[in-house]
Amino acid sequence: MKRILTLLGATAAGFTSVVALYGSPTKTGVLLKAATPTTAVPTGGSTTTTTIATGTGPANATAVGPVENYSYGQLAVKVVIAGHRIVDLRVQGLQTLDAYSTQLEQYVVPILKTEVLKAQGIRINAITGATYTSEAYAYSIQGALDKLRFK
């Protein structure tokens, strides 16, 4: 019984230390979101706030983010901006360490692409089982957006 309590206490202390060290993803800058202005729309006596996802920066541009190394390989993402919106994302460079990682990429990247296009930024959730890939994808996109000065 004493060993179990010691183990639980050590686990809690370790978890607390990790949270204190890394904080939440939005604080560390891992996952950021493009600025989104809001517009008030009157609807029969009340006001509804609608979020309009538009960015500032070039109206039409393309940039490739930096090659991001992660535990299972490396990738770079090409970002296409049109009308001050992210309209397309393509993996420009991909090298994986094994066949399983390649299969995982083929499954994960379309999901991440959909999420980024919907969010118009990289404030997205990482995919369980593909955390490193999700983070590398987001970092590369952020690098491309920084090159384009897209906010």
Provide the domain limits for residue 5: 1-30
Residues 56 and 124 in one domain: yes
13 backbone dihedrals φ, ψ, rounded to 5° = -65, -40
Residues 25 and 35 in one domain: no
Contact 138, 34 (CB under 8 A): no
Residues 88 and 41 in one domain: yes
Could you give the 3-state DSSP secondary structure of residue 91? strand
Residues 141 and 84 in one domain: yes
Residues 82 and 24 in one domain: no
Residues 79 and 64 in one domain: yes
Residues 86 and 42 in one domain: yes
CATH number at residue 93: 3.90.1010
**Six-digit token pair at 45?**
């006596």
pLDDT confidence of residue 12: 64
pLDDT confidence of residue 37: 37
- The total number of structural domains in the chain stands at 2
pLDDT confidence of residue 79: 95
Distance CA 92, CA 94 (A): 7
Residues 78 and 96 in one domain: yes
Residues 25 and 73 in one domain: no
pLDDT confidence of residue 17: 56
| Torsion angle (degrees, nearest 10) of CA 116, 119, 120, 124 | -50
Tell me which DSSP letter residue 148 carries. H
Residues 23 and 75 in one domain: no
pLDDT confidence of residue 43: 41
Contact 79, 65 (CB under 8 A): yes
Residues 3 and 60 in one domain: no
- Residue 125 backbone class (left: φ over 0; alpha: ψ -120 to 50; beta: rest): beta
DSSP element (H, E) containing 107: helix 99-119
Residues 23 and 67 in one domain: no
**Six-digit token pair at 120?**
């118009």
pLDDT confidence of residue 141: 94
123 backbone dihedrals φ, ψ, rounded to 5° = -80, 80
- Per-residue pLDDT tens, the chain, 151 aa: give them: 777 767 666 776 666 555 555 444 433 334 433 333 333 334 444 333 333 345 566 778 999 999 999 888 999 999 999 998 999 999 988 888 888 888 888 999 999 999 999 999 988 888 888 899 999 999 999 999 999 988 7
